[in-house]
Structure 1
Amino acid sequence: MAGVEINDTFVRRTLANGRVEEVAWTELAEVRLITTADGPFAEDVFFVLIGATGKGCVVPHSAADTAFLARLQALPGFDNDKVVEAMLSTADRQFLVWRRAQSPDGRRGYRAN
């Protein structure tokens, strides 16, 4: 069944064709917002969650509840100003709102709660 599942372990999107996109919170490496010029009568804001392996999950704004946004906002260094800027955008754009910090040895050092 198509839809988005968000829980304490992962974010999963199942598309109508059965394809599944998933990223575990502990593997989250980057969060972007993508906006399109398709609104306001079509979905035009998408959260893109990218895991450490480069795979990820796209969450349409309509599927992003307040608990999901609160979870993202709890990430250290999450850029709320970029989220506001994205929500006001009416053009095709990308906004980097969070990236996992790197440790001094160059490895991605932050683990999401």
Structure 2
Amino acid sequence: MSRKSKLTLDKPVSTTYLDIGTIAFMKWLTSTEDNKSADTSIIVKSILKDKFIIFYDGDLSKDVTVVFKDCIPWCKYCEADDCGHVGFAICLKQYYTRYGSDGV
């Protein structure tokens, strides 16, 4: 193994903000499928297909809007395209596309 490969492997692996959004989506999905209150801090308020998703972030105690422009997500709260809200919105959009509004 080369020295460079060893150095790369020794670095700790950390989650990205998008991963945090994906984990939040999995918690949200589990709570909706089991019809029970899980420890999810996100409440989906509105979805306009291919335009925007609005949800309440309990950790921030604020509504968050993620807009999709030319299929690219953008969080208006964080003013970023790689935050946890965007990760959650991407997963929710994929879920909505696959299962429709009955799944949400």
Going by fraction, where is strand more abundant, 1 or 2?
1
Computing the radius of gyration from Cα coordinates, the structure with the larger value is 2
TM-score by length of 1: 0.27
TM-score by length of 2: 0.29
Going by fraction, where is helix more abundant, 1 or 2?
2
